Amino acid sequence: MKKLVWATFVLSLLATVSRAQSTPTADVAVEYSHLQILKGYTINLNGASGSVAFNVNHWFGVAGDVGVYHGYPAVSLTGETYTFGPRFSYRKSERFVPFAQALFGGSHFSASSGGITGGGNEFAFGLGGGADIALGRSGKFAVRPQFEYFGIRSNGSTTDSVRLSVGLVYRIGKK
């Protein structure tokens, strides 16, 4: 009887610290993105971004993000960003998964006026996060609102930017 009590106690203890197999292997997201460049005056650009994240475990993953933005502040301005880095997720529930990430990479912005185009490549980084809010019972799809400070570094100075995104996430596999 004593062994049965101990076995029940140990199994109960293990059950409290074990996690359900709810961490996806990866996720793919497609988002509408609004990029505000804050340099003396605000430049508003609209576009799209896409990301892929691979989850190493239930809280740590590696994400890559690519974005394309366009606007008309005075001339036609187009920008592309490509960044990657760590993502930290809090998976208490499959229905709501907040995350924070730090992405580093590059950007390319070009302005066009009267058929003449000029631009350059810069270092870029994004610091921020968001949350995946599950749609339906399967949990395969989620809505993702996201907010990031986005810095564009060139010629020894950093141009401050803010990126607001909202989109659809598809979760792949289970860990």
| pLDDT score for 118 | 56
| pLDDT score for 67 | 97
| pLDDT score for 17 | 44
pLDDT digits (tens, 9 = 90+) for 141-160: 999 999 999 998 877 888 89
CB 69 within 8 Å of CB 76 = no
Three-class DSSP category at 11: helix
Give ∠ CA 58-173-94 in degrees, rounded to 5. Answer: 50
Which residues, in sequence order, are bridge partners of residue 126? 103, 150
Mean pLDDT, residues 156-175 = 93
Q: Model pTM?
A: 0.82
pLDDT digits (tens, 9 = 90+) for 88-145: 999 999 899 999 999 999 999 888 765 555 567 789 999 999 999 999 888 899 999 9
Choose which CATH entry (2.40.160.20, 1.20.1250.20, 3.40.50.2300, 3.30.300.210) describes domain 21-172: 2.40.160.20
pLDDT digits (tens, 9 = 90+) for 6-64: 554 544 444 444 445 579 999 999 999 999 998 877 889 999 999 999 999 999 999 99
Distance set, CA 165 to CA 13, 85, 155, 174, 175 (Å) = 41, 18, 28, 26, 27
The 10 Å Cβ neighbour count of residue 175 is 13
Nearest Cα neighbor of 68 from 81, 53, 83 is 81
DSSP 8-state assignment for residue 130: E
| pLDDT score for 112 | 77
How far the first Cα of the chain sits from its last, in Å, is 37
